Amino acid sequence: MTSSSHEDRTNALSWLAHGAQLAFELKGDQAKHSDVIWQLLVEAIEVIDKTPDQERRWLTSGNRSGGWNMVGMSRAELLVIERIRLLSAMKPYDGQTKVSPQRDDVERSLGVLSWMRWCNAARLADRLVKAAVALARGGEAEIVHRLYCPTRKSRNRQASYEIKQRTVGFILTGLKNDLGIVPGHGLSFQELNHAA
């Protein structure tokens, strides 16, 4: 059946439950299992895109930062810096705010993005993955189309739909074959051996 660990299945099921929430918030009762997977991908790419450059560099090099949610300064040092800013007529916390994703968000995002490996079963897998990432990032139809089917002269309106369906299909197959997880009732997912 599967060679995955219990922890992998547990994590995937919790991520899918989170995705069900996202899909329901977006589409309500019209949401489907495919929307759950797609919304997880959209969120994962958004989280990784918002990750500060230094942490992203560590992620892409295969090493994890031990400093999530830490700035490396003591409270006293931060107070001194804030006092200097006030004395320099700067507003408190003036400047561009940065969103630092929480560790759980990053772990979920990396886990969900690892599911893209199941798209390797596709013909021209690189094109599918690049187009799916661009589409999930909110890329323009023209760019997505060029990534997915660069040799097609006419712009196919169905390309975005096809990319989503194929990507989600490969991920659903991977969840079933590798983790033993299948769609359940409503928007839920369950382990194959618990399926009714």
Helix axes 6-27, 103-114, angle to 10 degrees: 100
Average pLDDT over residues 135-160: 78
Contacts of 86 (CB under 8 A, 6+ apart): 92
pLDDT at 175 over 90: yes
Which residue shows structure tokens 């194959």? 192
pTM greater than the 0.85 cutoff: no
pLDDT, tens only, 13-62 = 999 999 999 999 999 999 999 999 999 999 999 888 887 665 545 555 44
Q: Which helix (H) or strand (E) holds 183?
A: strand 181-183
Please report, for the chain, the start and end positions of each structural domain, with discontinuous segments joined by +.
6-51+101-194, 53-96
User: To 5 degrees, how large is the angle CA 104–CA 138–CA 129?
Assistant: 75
Beta carbons within 10 angstroms of residue 149's beta carbon: 18
Q: Give residue 86's pLDDT.
A: 63
Residue 157 confidence class, pLDDT cut points 50, 70, 90: low
pLDDT, tens only, 85-96 = 566 555 555 444
pLDDT at 78 over 80: no
Determine the distance from the C-alpha atom of residue 166 to the mean position of all C-alpha atoms in its chain, rounded to a whole number.
Answer: 17
Q: Give residue 74's pLDDT.
A: 67
pLDDT, tens only, 89-147 = 555 554 444 555 677 888 899 999 999 999 988 888 888 898 899 889 887 777 887 88
User: To 5 degrees, how large is the angle CA 59–CA 61–CA 62?
Assistant: 65
pLDDT at 192 over 80: yes
Q: Give residue 141's pLDDT.
A: 78
Q: Give residue 151's pLDDT.
A: 76
Q: Give residue 68's pLDDT.
A: 42
Q: Which helix (H) or strand (E) holds 55?
A: helix 53-61
Average pLDDT over residues 135-164: 79
DSSP state of 178: I
